[in-house]
Amino acid sequence: MKNRLKEFRESFGLTQQQLGELVGVSRQAINYIETEKYEPSIWLAYDISKVFHCPIEKVFLFEESERKSRAQLSKGVI
């Protein structure tokens, strides 16, 4: 999932560590989300968006990706 997390985080003057502490995850988790190596749960995405006082869709860009979703994989969709 594409995101604008780094852009928002930097505009608020937060480090990865600080943002992680605000939402209850590690600095590494924030890094993995920013670099699109990890997709946050809907609850974590919600908590992150609340830090920036904006809707989830402003931070996380829900668009088609080349990577198959978990639902597609479980249904065997290619």
**Whole-number pLDDT of residue 75:** 74
The architecture that CATH gives domain 2-75 is Orthogonal Bundle (1.10)
pLDDT averaged over 10-residue windows placed end to end, the chain, 78 residues: 96 98 98 96 97 97 66 67
Q: State the pLDDT at residue 62.
A: 81
pLDDT at residue 63 in the model: 72
Cα(70)–Cα(78) distance, integer angstroms: 12
The predicted model scores a pTM of: 0.79
Q: Where are the domains of the chain?
A: 2-75
